[in-house]
């Protein structure tokens, strides 16, 4: 368990020799010990192709790798920080929400259009998340940022969860997500409820929701 929440906006990470962390550039608040921060050209893990993939898909967020031995404190922009522990499953999260994650996690990029077809594409447009999202897979922990506090909602096959696309932070598990639109004539004449688009998550897993509709 590399990350420890100090308060709602700050995490402490222990860096040991041979164990690498990745973090968003500029997100270090303080450190103890002998720790080096190297800007990561590739923007994460994987080879050259992964890097190109991230560049092309716009999921390349400026990362730096943190190595050495000591303690590092992370926080960024006054955003709330939430630590998620992964035990072998895959976390889907936008790259710019990643504050820090352990080097043991495999980083990938996923095409959102592959889930939900055309609505998947519309989803990317509506939520402003784009068509691609970052995946992290393996054993380790991730610190994600959110505007406002984060809470978890379990998703079970019987109970699909609807989330406002702007309040969605991340999800993990065997989850299908699709954008459900409730567009009617009211939306057309500008008298909509403002909740025309919702993200419907079904399957089994967990979705992380922020207590705000403001994006990072």
Partner 1 sequence: MSTYGTPGAGPTGPVVHDPMTLPADDNVNAYTFCVELKSGQWFLQKGKMIAYYGAIEFNGIGHGRLDRLVRTSFHSPLHASDWVVAEGSGRMLLADRAFDVNSYDLDDGNLTIRAGNLLAFQPSLALKQSIVPGFLTLIGTGKFVAASNGPVVFMEPPIRVDPQALVGWADCPSPCHHYDHGYLTGVLGGLRAMTGLGGVSGEEHQFEFVGAGTVLLQSSESLMDETATGAVPAEPGVPGGGVPGPGGHGQQPPGAPRLPGQLGDLQRRFGL
Which parts of this chain interact with partner 1 (CB under 8 A)? 5-10, 25-32, 36-41, 62, 64, 73, 75-80, 82, 148-152, 211
Q: At its nearest, how many Å lie between partner 1 and the CB of residue 82?
A: 6
Q: At its nearest, how many Å lie between partner 1 and the CB of residue 43?
A: 10
Tokens of 118: 């055309």
Q: At its nearest, how many Å lie between partner 1 and the CB of residue 34?
A: 10
Q: At its nearest, how many Å lie between partner 1 and the CB of residue 75?
A: 5
Distance CA 118, CA 120 (A): 5
> Is there a contact between 6 and 47 (Cβ–Cβ < 8 Å)?
no
- Nearer to partner 1 (CB atom), residue 30 or residue 182: 30
- Nearer to partner 1 (CB atom), residue 67 or residue 94: 67
Q: At its nearest, how many Å lie between partner 1 and the CB of residue 197?
A: 25
> Which stretches of 16-105 are assigned E, i.e. beta strand?
21-24, 28-40, 63-74, 80-93, 98-102
- Nearer to partner 1 (CB atom), residue 131 or residue 216: 216
- Nearer to partner 1 (CB atom), residue 131 or residue 153: 153
Contacts of 106 (CB under 8 A, 6+ apart): 45, 46, 136, 137, 138
Contacts of 85 (CB under 8 A, 6+ apart): 1, 140, 141
- Nearer to partner 1 (CB atom), residue 6 or residue 121: 6
Tokens of 131: 């068509």
| Residue in the structure block whose two tokens are 């709330």 | 80
């Amino acid at each position: 368990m590399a990350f420890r929440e100090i308060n709602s906006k700050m995490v402490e990470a222990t860096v040991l020799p041979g164990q690498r962390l990745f973090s968003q550039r500029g997100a270090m608040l303080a450190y103890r010990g002998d720790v080096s921060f190297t800007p990561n050209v590739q923007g994460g893990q994987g080879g050259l192709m992964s890097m190109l993939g991230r560049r092309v898909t716009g999921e390349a967020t400026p990362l730096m790798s943190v190595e050495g031995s000591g303690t590092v404190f992370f926080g960024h922009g006054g955003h709330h920080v939430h630590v998620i522990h992964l035990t072998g499953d895959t976390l889907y999260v936008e790259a710019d929400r990643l504050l820090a994650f352990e080097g043991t996690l495999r980083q990938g990029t996923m095409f959102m259009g592959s889930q939900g077809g055309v609505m998947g594409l519309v989803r990317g447009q509506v939520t402003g998340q784009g068509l691609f999202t970052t995946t992290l897979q393996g054993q380790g922990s991730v610190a994600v940022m959110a505007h406002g506090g984060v809470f978890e909602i379990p998703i079970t096959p019987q109970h699909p969860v609807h989330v406002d696309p702007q309040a969605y932070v991340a999800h993990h598990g065997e989850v299908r997500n699709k954008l459900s639109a409730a567009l009617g004539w009211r939306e057309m004449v500008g008298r909509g409820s403002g909740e025309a688009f919702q993200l419907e998550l079904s399957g089994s897993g967990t979705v992380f929701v922020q207590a705000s509709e403001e994006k990072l």
